[in-house]
C-alpha cells in the first residue's frame, strides 16, 4: 500500500476514534505509523518505531539505543539510591519514561509532518491512549534493556491497576524487583 493511502486511512481513523476506547485502536494507530516510517526509511521517530514494534511482540529483545539510554539512566538513579540505602524518589528519567513523554513528543511531530490530526496528543486523549498502551504492553517485557537490568515490564495487578517493574540482574541492596505503582498517575 502506498504511503499516501496509509496516510488517508490514518486520517479517517484519527478523525473518528478519539478518544481511543479499545486496545485495538492503539495497536492500529501504531502499526499504521510504523508502515509510514518504513516508507520513509530515514530513521526519524525512533521512539514511535520502538513502541510500534513492542506492541506487536510478546517480548522485546532488540532494544534501540534511545531506549537503552533511558533505561540506563533509570537504572543508575535507582541502583545508586538502593546501594546507599537512600529513599527512591520520583526521578525525571523515570517520570518521562512512565508518562511516555518522549513518545508523545515524537508522535506529535510525526502527525504534524504528515499533516494528520494530532488530537491524540490532547491530555484526555493521551491519558486514555497511554492507559490502553500499557495494558497492551503488560506482560510483554523488554528483556536485558541495559547492563544490570534483567527486564523492564508493565503489568496489571489483580484489580487491574497498572504498574511498572524493573527486575535487576544482581540484587542491589534489598531490591531484586522494584515496582512503580500508578503508571498514569505516578504516586510514591
C-alpha cell at 82: 538502593
pLDDT at 109: 97
pTM: 0.83
The string of pLDDT tens digits covering residues 151-181 is 888 888 877 777 888 887 776 544 555 555 5
**Dihedral sign of CA atoms 18, 55, 188, 161 in order:** positive
Compute the 3-state secondary structure of the chain and give helix, strand, coil in percent, each to the nearest 5.
Answer: 55, 15, 35
Q: What is the mean pLDDT of each run of 10 residues along the chain (188 residues)?
A: 95 94 96 96 90 91 84 76 65 72 94 96 92 91 88 83 79 54 41
3-state secondary structure of 56: coil
Amino acid at each position: 500500500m502506498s504511503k499516501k493511502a496509509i496516510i488517508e486511512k490514518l486520517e479517517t481513523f484519527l478523525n473518528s476514534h478519539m478518544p481511543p476506547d479499545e486496545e485495538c485502536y492503539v495497536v492500529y494507530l501504531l502499526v499504521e505509523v510504523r508502515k509510514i516510517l518504513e516508507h520513509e526509511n530515514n530513521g526519524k521517530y525512533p521512539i514511535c518505531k520502538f513502541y510500534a514494534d513492542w506492541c506487536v511482540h510478546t517480548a522485546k529483545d532488540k532494544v534501540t539505543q534511545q531506549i537503552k539510554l533511558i533505561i540506563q539512566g533509570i537504572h543508575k538513579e535507582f541502583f545508586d539510591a538502593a546501594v546507599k540505602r537512600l529513599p527512591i524518589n520520583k526521578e525525571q528519567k523515570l517520570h518521562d519514561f512512565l508518562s511516555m513523554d518522549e513518545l508523545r513528543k515524537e508522535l506529535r511531530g510525526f502527525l504534524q509532518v504528515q499533516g494528520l490530526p494530532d488530537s491524540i496528543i490532547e491530555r484526555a486523549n493521551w491519558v486514555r491512549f497511554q492507559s490502553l498502551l500499557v495494558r497492551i504492553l503488560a506482560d510483554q517485557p523488554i528483556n536485558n534493556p541495559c547492563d544490570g537490568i534483567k527486564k523492564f515490564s508493565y503489568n496489571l495487578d489483580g484489580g487491574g491497576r497498572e504498574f511498572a517493574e524493573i527486575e535487576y540482574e544482581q540484587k542491589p541492596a534489598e531490591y531484586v524487583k522494584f515496582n512503580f505503582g500508578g503508571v498514569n498517575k505516578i504516586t510514591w
